[in-house]
Structure 1
Amino acid sequence: MIELNKDNFDTETSTGLVIVDFWGESCGRCMELMPSVHELEKTYGDKVKFCSLNIAGQRRLAMAQKVMGLPSFLIFKDGERKEHLSGEDLDIDQIEQAIKSYLV
């Protein structure tokens, strides 16, 4: 999983299908989802670039992407933001379905 920051965010999300996991160490739901997200990377990593962004120290970047709550996942296709998944009730199946919808 590629760690994003303000210096590489635009470059890493500019081509192909990219999912960005916005997380924080104090977000319990983020930490619960993380192992499952890594499993998705093993399954879809040849078709989707998986990135993560720890909002600690990156709050301005998160706000610029309109990420106001955690957990949040953004899906980009060729640099264009396509979808924003977020909320305490977000589960791994919803994330996987969103990924699959862009692989058709």
Structure 2
Amino acid sequence: MATFAEMINSDKPVLVDFFATWCGPCRTMEPILKNLKSDLGEAATIIKVDVDKNPAAAMAYQVQGVPTLILFKNGKALWRQSGVVQAKELEQMIRAHS
């Protein structure tokens, strides 16, 4: 399996969902991200990072609240937002960076 660094260095957009199992808004994001994945198909990769299991990754990107979504392409963070974001908004943002 690819490392986190390898995954975010992709030349296609990679949306990372920093989440926690105890977080209510994170559970709200789950179906939104599932729908987004089916809408985007292979246009982007969506990965979830549990901040409790991966504190180093969360610290590296100064993730202070969950959920925090960060869009990477070629290893660079192009966009980030904390809180629940609707699928249409995410899709437009990802397509703009494709």
Structure 1-normalised TM-score? 0.82
Count matched residues.
96
Q: Give the percent of matched residue pairs that are identical in Structure 1 and Structure 2.
A: 26
- The CA distance in 1 between the partners of 2:62 and 2:90, in whole Å, is 18
TM-score (norm 2): 0.86
Structure 2 equivalent of residue 8 of structure 1 = 3
Instruction: Say which structure is richer in helix.
Output: 2
Gaps of 5+ in 1: none
1:61 aligns with 2:61: no
**Residue in 2 aligned with 1:95?**
90
Q: Distance in 1 between matches of 2:71 and 2:40?
A: 14
* Unaligned residue ranges in structure 2 (runs of 5+): none
Q: Tell me, in whole angstroms, the C-alpha distance in 1 between the residues paired with 2:74 and 2:37.
A: 19
Counterpart residue number, 1:82 = 78
Q: Which 4+ runs in 1 deviate beyond 2 A?
A: 93-97
Q: For residue 37 of structure 1, what is the aligned residue in structure 2?
A: 33
CA distance in 2, matches of 1:64, 1:18: 17
